[in-house]
Amino acid sequence: MNSQDVINKTEVFVKKTLAQAEGGHDWFHVERVYRNSLLIAKSEPCNLFIVKLGALLHDIADSKFYNGDENIGPKIAREFLIKLNVEPSVIRQVILIIENISFKTSLSNTTGNKFTSAELDIIQDADRLDAIGAVGIARCFNYGGFKNRGLYDPEIKPNLNMSKEEYKNSTAPTINHFYEKLLLLKNTMNTKTGKNLANKRHAYMQDYLDQFYAEWHGAK
């Protein structure tokens, strides 16, 4: 099976697997991350096959929808790629990308050698771009509604020093998430293209928050 056949079969698999997924983590999220990844990859030296597979499979089973099980996504991806007879070295890279892409991973206090690669940098930027800007705002409130969280509570302040476990278990209002994650992403970008795009989307979020507070307080 050639590489394009593998990509085609992976797209079909991901669409089917995520058919009933929450709106911010569905096939369309994956498709946007895939497109962002291809855009960023144009300016970065990388293995494009790994970028494509990693982008398509990065959210195949988000742990937040599986009782926090961080092993299920890598397990499903590995079993699928083995069935397609993908080279073990490629599978290993894709699994490492899935295991290290999330924002909450950066909150871990674990020590040791952290996995890095050009492909992870690209996909991580692409994934974080989809968490900010207009789409990011929509996804944020969609997930907040899915979890039945309030929009905003002036009495509940954002926690800017959360541990990984605190982040995973947070039930704070949706607006807090802007300060606890979304507004922090601009400064975590790895690539030049990612940084340029993030700056524009970050500014859009700041404008949105200004308008939100003005409307909340009856100023506009």
Q: What CATH number is given to the structural domain containing 117?
A: 1.10.3210.50
Q: What is the pLDDT of residue 67?
A: 58
Q: What is the pLDDT of residue 69?
A: 64
Range of the domain at 14: 3-216
Q: What is the pLDDT of residue 166?
A: 84
The parts of the chain modelled with pLDDT lower than 50 are 111
The pLDDT tens digits for 72-124 are 889 999 999 999 999 999 999 999 999 999 876 666 555 456 889 999 999 99
> What's the number of domains the chain is made of?
1
Q: Is 22 left (phi over 0), alpha (psi -120 to 50) or beta?
A: beta
Q: What is the pLDDT of residue 220?
A: 79
Produce one character per residue of 114-145: b if its CB has 16 or more CB atoms within 10 Å, e if not. eeebbbbbbbbbbbbbbbbbebbbebbbbbbe
Q: What is the pLDDT of residue 61?
A: 77
Alpha carbons within 13 A on the beta-carbon side of 192: 5
Neighbours of 100 (CB within 10 A): 16
Say which residues have a Cβ less than 8 Å from residue 179's Cβ, sequence separation at least 6: 158, 160
